[in-house]
Amino acid sequence: MDRRTLVEFITGWILVLAGGIMTILPIFSITNVRMVFIAIIAVYGIIHLIKNFFILEAKDFSGFRTAASCIVALILMMFMDINDSPWNLALILFIWVILMSLTKLKESDYYHDRKNKLWELNVINLILFILTGVLTSVNLYYTGDVQILVLGFFFLINGILELMDPLAAYIMEKK
């Protein structure tokens, strides 16, 4: 397994773990949606920023674009109250999904330009990411514990989607 694939694989597992932890937070009566959402978006951005520094020689700057998307979402959270209005939470998540979709589309184009078959998998991942993001945004109109649970499942699914690319690259590398 080359360095880039290994770093992306570890990043994907960290995101799966973060999503899994987020789904069990309501059990421990942690229902402050604002703090949990800020934490998960910040961790998501930091993990991708660190990932990008590890694979800097690959000339792939998707980690920087992901971190920038997370910064935009964090800035929006400074101006919008997401604890009292689920509309604001859904709007911020939807904007973040749009920005991340552009990043994932650029990554698919990167693979397509290099005649790598992974671009097809990335397009499927992009469609699934958009679908889960829209469905999550639509279902954020409940109490805080349900919102955290729905967001946890979204980030868990997103982590699994992030794992698909390095696993496919590893399998293709072995052939």
pLDDT digits (tens, 9 = 90+) for 108-120: 888 888 888 888 9
Number of domain units in the chain? 1
pLDDT tens per residue across all 175 residues of the chain: 788 889 889 999 999 999 999 999 999 999 899 999 999 999 999 999 998 888 877 667 788 999 999 999 999 999 998 877 889 999 999 999 999 999 999 988 888 888 888 889 999 999 999 999 999 999 888 888 899 999 999 999 999 999 998 999 888 888 7
Measure the CA–CA gap between 82 and 101, rounded to whole angstroms: 22
Q: What is the pLDDT of residue 58?
A: 63
Q: Are 155 and 40 in contact (CB under 8 A)?
A: yes
In angstroms, rounded to a whole number, what is the distance separating the alpha carbons of residues 5 and 86? 37
Q: What share of the chain is helix, strand, coil (3-state, %, to 5)?
A: 85, 0, 15
Residue 129 pLDDT = 96
pTM of the model: 0.90
Answer for the pair 97, 45: CB distance below 8 angstroms, yes or no: no
Q: Which domain, by its residues, includes 70?
A: 3-174
CB atoms within 10 A of CB 35: 12
| In the chain, % of residues over pLDDT 70 | 98
Whose structure tokens read 């184009």?
A: 109
